[in-house]
Amino acid sequence: MSKVQYRLNTNSLAVERVKKSFWDRLKVILRYVLAGFLFSVIVLFIGFTFFESPKERMLRREVNQFRVQYQILNDRLNVLSTVLEDIQERDDHIYRVIFEADPIPRPVREAAFGGVDRYAHLAGYQNSELISHTMRRVDQLASQLYIQSKSYDEVFDMAINKADMLASIPAIIPISQGTERLMSGYGMRMHPIYKTMRMHTGVDFTAPTGTPIYATGNGVVVRAERNNYGYGRMIVIDHGYGYQTLYAHMSDIKVRRGQQVKRGEVIGTVGNTGTSTAPHLHYEIHRNDRAVNPVHYFYNDLTPEEFEIIIERASRVNQSLS
């Protein structure tokens, strides 16, 4: 573009130089500036709309990388959850069964972790829910692992004391020739005196007066009473590990309260004291303060055949002696 412009004067038919004022030059400059600005806006709009900038490409790669890492993290959390569930299953149904321990209740294992506002500081971000969910799973796993570690500590202590536990759990018949002398099993039975159906919380062994009665496991005598009307002369032994045994209607008591006894030790003799219709031993086992069927604990000195016989006999007889 020429810096100097000329025009034809029609009156004088002469070519004259065009003189531009400052405002004319300013208008020209503004037109070029405006055109350049509009062109730049169009180029930037097309560029940002249809093309990625280097920074956007970098951010997109970082976002994709974070998504892959989050998926890997959740996959590992799923694996850890599966492994932990298997450990919990083994703990409840194998290890604790071996040591006669109650399983840990499921609500305790799956107890919620933290309060409502525990993850409030994570709110307000673009992926707040995602982050909160992951943190909640991590905290839940940490809580369950802590409970499981405490459970294993308890199982370890039980394993150390297994020999004492096996010697303490009631595991023999309290009188000799017990398979032949079992007269009444555990369950609803006809009471011989009141003639009504009542829960019989033990088993009855008929035997002559003076027949020796043996402690069925190691323990400490917690009751040795000579004037209990219903049970007559009776003994209660605390074996630990949640077990107690009761021996009733005895003719003689040979131990005292607080005395430690061993399995197989004579603690008294069969009698006919208390509410009883004939000389016999009434025997009960309590586990965690609840009466259980004693025949399930006669495995230590019986053959499999004898054990089947006594199970069948206990289920067949229905008349108690007390």
For the chain, the structural domain boundaries read 6-50, 68-160, 178-316
Of residues 32 and 191, the one with the higher pLDDT is: 32
pLDDT score of 56 more than 80: no
* pLDDT band (50, 70, 90) for residue 209: very high
Q: Which pLDDT score, from 0 to 100, does residue 237 have?
A: 97
Other CB atoms within 10 A of residue 100 CB: 14
Q: Which pLDDT score, from 0 to 100, does residue 49 have?
A: 73
Give me the mean pLDDT over the 278-286 stretch. 92
Q: Which pLDDT score, from 0 to 100, does residue 215 have?
A: 96
Per DSSP, the three-state class of 176 is coil
Long-range contacts of 256-261 (CB under 8 A, 24+ apart): 256/221, 256/224, 257/221, 257/222, 257/223, 257/224, 258/220, 258/221, 259/220, 259/221, 260/218, 260/219, 260/220, 260/221, 261/215, 261/218, 261/219, 261/220, 261/221, 261/237
Per DSSP, the three-state class of 194 is coil
* Measured distance CA(30)–CA(168) in Å, rounded: 105
User: Which residues are CB-neighbours of 6 under 8 A, at least 6 positions away?
Assistant: 15, 16, 17, 18
Kindly list the distances between the CA atom of residue 39 and the CA atoms of 32, 34, 51, 313, in Å, as whole numbers in the listed order.
10, 8, 17, 104
Domain at 178-316: CATH code? 2.70.70.10
* Measured distance CA(122)–CA(294) in Å, rounded: 58
* Measured distance CA(280)–CA(181) in Å, rounded: 9
Q: Which pLDDT score, from 0 to 100, does residue 262 have?
A: 95
pLDDT score of 114 more than 60: no
Structure tokens at 220: 């400490």
What is the distance in angstroms between the CA of the first residue and the CA of the last residue of the chain?
130
pLDDT tens-digit readout, 150-164: 888 888 887 777 878
Contact (Cβ atoms closer than 8 angstroms) between residue 232 and residue 250: yes
pLDDT score of 41 more than 70: yes
Of residues 19 and 212, the one with the higher pLDDT is: 212
Q: Is 225 exposed, middle or buried, given 0-12, 13-18 or 19+ CB atoms closer than 10 A?
A: middle
What does residue 275 show for φ and ψ, rounded to 5 degrees?
-80, 90
Other CB atoms within 10 A of residue 186 CB: 20
Give me the mean pLDDT over the 166-191 stretch. 80
Q: Spell 311-321 as b/e; 16+ CB within 10 A means b.
A: bebbeeeeebb
Helices in 124-192 by DSSP H: which ranges? 128-160, 162-168, 178-181
Which of 112, 106, 135, 110 is CA-nearest to residue 122?
A: 135
Structure tokens at 55: 């920074």
Other CB atoms within 10 A of residue 149 CB: 9
CA dihedral angle for residue 223, residue 226, residue 228, residue 232, rounded to 10 degrees: 110
pLDDT score of 321 more than 60: no
Look at the pTM and tell me if it is higher than 0.75: no
* Residue 240 φ/ψ region, left for φ over 0, alpha for ψ in the -120 to 50 degree band, beta for the rest: left
* Measured distance CA(129)–CA(151) in Å, rounded: 33
